[in-house]
Amino acid sequence: MDKDYQAIVVGAGPAGLAAGLAFAHLGLRAAVVGPVSDPNDGRTAALFEGSIELLRRIGAWDNLKDHSEPLKAIRLIDATGGLLRAPEVTFWAHEIGLDAFGYNVPTGGLTVALESVAAGRLSRLQSAGVERIDIEATSARVVTREGVVLTAPLIAGADGRNSLARQAAHIETQRWAYPQAAVVATFSHSRDHQGISTELHRRCGPLTVVPMPGRASSLVWVDTPEEAARLAALSDDAFNSALKAHVGGLLGTMRDFSPRRVFPLSGQTATVLGRNRVGLIGESGHIIPPIGAQGLNLSLRDGATLAELAADAAAAGKDPGAGDVLAAYEAQRRRDVSARVWTIDLMNRSLLSEYLPVHLARGAGIVALKAIGPLRHLVMREGISPSFATPRLMHP
Ligand SMILES: Cc1cc2nc3c(=O)[nH]c(=O)nc-3n(C[C@H](O)[C@H](O)[C@H](O)COP(=O)(O)OP(=O)(O)OC[C@H]3O[C@@H](n4cnc5c(N)ncnc54)[C@H](O)[C@@H]3O)c2cc1C
């Protein structure tokens, strides 16, 4: 294996693998270093149009399409139980000229598809992990736990929330916790979901069911940590009854529940997304609660943007990891990242708030979205892809 690269991606989750393939697609000599992610990660990710376009470009979509379900509509239901209930609102993809907003993709299948393309297109070093990153004047050295040494002028830190790459670049973070956890499972049901993803807004957090192929859906049920632990420990029958109280009317008889997993909710942002030869991708740069399906979409935009900036620099004979490339990365990504982190934070906290005016303001926002077509269309377009920050690799 050649050990001298133009870019090394640390971390082989979906965001890291996709970034590595974006580097390779744009002609850079790239390596991805890290352990193989769990192919049986029972989660799914709703990936919007631009993310699907990126997967097409880097060659991973053909193996995924048949296991993914088009998202034709997103329905919001106010289940807060307040006196002034906001009206139900459904956003249809066809309103903005699309067949679907994107697809609901199995996270494990996504990793398998990306790994299989990566095997032929870049250096994929399966390792227990990177142990040390030394940042030097003109390049960075990555040392794996197995003692393999790799060098490159640019490191893409896709190594998750406790990122070693971020620490090596001396980048600080702001971190906070929410009094919530998400219970995640998949299940089948008797009624057709019609390609509609449904988000029930409850006082302790949203409960979302997202369509999967056939008569099946994935569930992200946000509740208090205590209630999430209780729900996860229930028998399938008891869990079925608990879920039926919320979505039975929409999906009919439910069965075939996958093992349930619980994810505590937290938030985090890095103070800067690129510095000292390191660009942060995915959760190393930002953690968002699983509300509104934004996290991985944002992470894929990170990787594609960093790859484009590095490839442009290399094509001009410049250093792809130079300070000005990373400053441009920070400038191009910051608005998108901040907008998503703080909008999701606001949406989540508005549900948790005890104050009536906050609930009234949230309800008024939903009424406006239902009533004002151009506003609804703008929110739909910006929700799936920000007009100011969509990398070229994601343009149809
Ligand atoms: C319940 C839930 C539902 C979600 N649903 C959606 C959705 O519908 N749509 C959406 O867009 N997003 C969704 N997300 C968010 C999405 O899953 C995350 O944004 C995404 O997984 C983050 O990817 P990542 O690659 O940054 O982090 P990770 O998936 O954590 O990957 C980090 C990788 O780095 C590796 N690593 C760590 N340390 C090292 C080291 N020292 N050396 C080498 N490798 C290392 C790890 O092994 C891992 O493979 C959801 C999240 C949750 C929790």
pLDDT of residue 347: 85
Q: What spacing in Å lies between the alpha carbon of 192 and ligand 1's midpoint?
A: 30
Q: Which residue has 């296991």 as its token pair?
A: 67
pLDDT tens for 135-170 read 999 999 999 999 999 999 999 999 999 999 999 999
Q: In terms of pLDDT, which residue wins out, 373 or 65?
A: 65
Q: Has residue 49 got a pLDDT over 80?
A: yes
Residue 190 lies in a domain: no
pLDDT of residue 352: 81
pLDDT of residue 385: 82
Q: Which two tokens stand for residue 68?
A: 């993914």
Q: Has residue 106 got a pLDDT over 70?
A: yes
Pairing state of beta strands 73-78 and 196-202?
parallel
pLDDT of residue 266: 95
Q: Is the CB of 13 under 6 A from ligand 1?
A: yes
pLDDT of residue 387: 83
Eight-state DSSP code of residue 260: P
d(CA 82, CA 263): 27
Q: Has residue 44 got a pLDDT over 90?
A: yes
Residue 208 lies in a domain: no
pLDDT tens for 317-360 read 999 999 999 999 999 999 999 999 999 998 888 888 777 777 77
Binning pLDDT at 50, 70 and 90, where does residue 42 land? confident
Q: Is the CB of 295 under 6 A from ligand 1?
A: yes
User: Are 12 and 35 spatial neighbours (Cβ–Cβ below 8 Å)?
Assistant: yes
Q: Is the CB of 168 under 6 A from ligand 1?
A: no
pLDDT of residue 298: 97
Share of residues in the chain with pLDDT > 90 (%): 82
Cα 390 to its chain centre, rounded Å, is 15
Residue 349 lies in a domain: yes
Angle between helices 49-57 and 295-315 (to 10 degrees): 50
pLDDT of residue 74: 95
Binning pLDDT at 50, 70 and 90, where does residue 364 land? confident
Binning pLDDT at 50, 70 and 90, where does residue 388 land? confident
User: Are 160 and 177 spatial neighbours (Cβ–Cβ below 8 Å)?
Assistant: no
Q: Is the CB of 159 under 6 A from ligand 1?
A: yes
Q: pTM (2 decimals)?
A: 0.95
pLDDT tens for 169-215 read 999 999 999 999 999 999 999 999 999 999 999 999 999 999 999 99
Q: What spacing in Å lies between the alpha carbon of 359 and ligand 1's midpoint?
A: 32
Q: What is the CATH number of the domain that holds 327?
A: 3.50.50.60
Domain count across the chain: 1
pLDDT of residue 351: 82
Q: Is the CB of 68 under 6 A from ligand 1?
A: no
Residue 119 lies in a domain: yes
* H or E element that contains 256: none
* Ligand 1 atom 2: residue of nearest CA: 290
Q: Has residue 2 got a pLDDT over 60?
A: no
Residue 147 lies in a domain: yes
* Ligand 1 atom 11: residue of nearest CA: 296
Q: What spacing in Å lies between the alpha carbon of 300 and ligand 1's midpoint?
A: 11
Q: Has residue 256 got a pLDDT over 70?
A: yes
* H or E element that contains 16: helix 14-25
Q: What spacing in Å lies between the alpha carbon of 13 and ligand 1's midpoint?
A: 6
Q: Output the average pLDDT for the chain.
A: 94
Q: Is the CB of 290 under 6 A from ligand 1?
A: yes
Lowest mean pLDDT among 175-189, 239-253, 256-270, 341-355: 341-355
pLDDT of residue 80: 85
Residue 145 lies in a domain: yes
* Ligand 1 atom 27: residue of nearest CA: 160
Work out the average pLDDT over 359-379.
82
Q: What spacing in Å lies between the alpha carbon of 271 and ligand 1's midpoint?
A: 19
Work out the average pLDDT over 220-238.
97
Work out the average pLDDT over 83-88.
80
Q: What spacing in Å lies between the alpha carbon of 292 and ligand 1's midpoint?
A: 16
Q: What spacing in Å lies between the alpha carbon of 106 and ligand 1's midpoint?
A: 13
Eight-state DSSP code of residue 83: S
Q: Is the CB of 45 under 6 A from ligand 1?
A: yes
Residue 200 lies in a domain: no
Angle between helices 14-25 and 107-121 (to 10 degrees): 30
Q: What spacing in Å lies between the alpha carbon of 201 and ligand 1's midpoint?
A: 25
d(CA 181, CA 230): 11
pLDDT of residue 170: 98
Q: Is the CB of 292 under 6 A from ligand 1?
A: no
Q: Which residue has 């631009």 as its token pair?
A: 50
User: Are 63 and 153 spatial neighbours (Cβ–Cβ below 8 Å)?
Assistant: no
Q: Is the CB of 182 under 6 A from ligand 1?
A: yes
Q: Is the CB of 102 under 6 A from ligand 1?
A: no
User: Are 219 and 193 spatial neighbours (Cβ–Cβ below 8 Å)?
Assistant: no
Lowest mean pLDDT among 18-27, 85-94, 216-225: 85-94
Q: Is the CB of 8 under 6 A from ligand 1?
A: no
Q: Has residue 1 got a pLDDT over 60?
A: no
Residue 312 lies in a domain: yes
pLDDT of residue 386: 86
Q: Which residues span the domain enclosing 275?
A: 7-175+265-386
* Ligand 1 atom 21: residue of nearest CA: 296
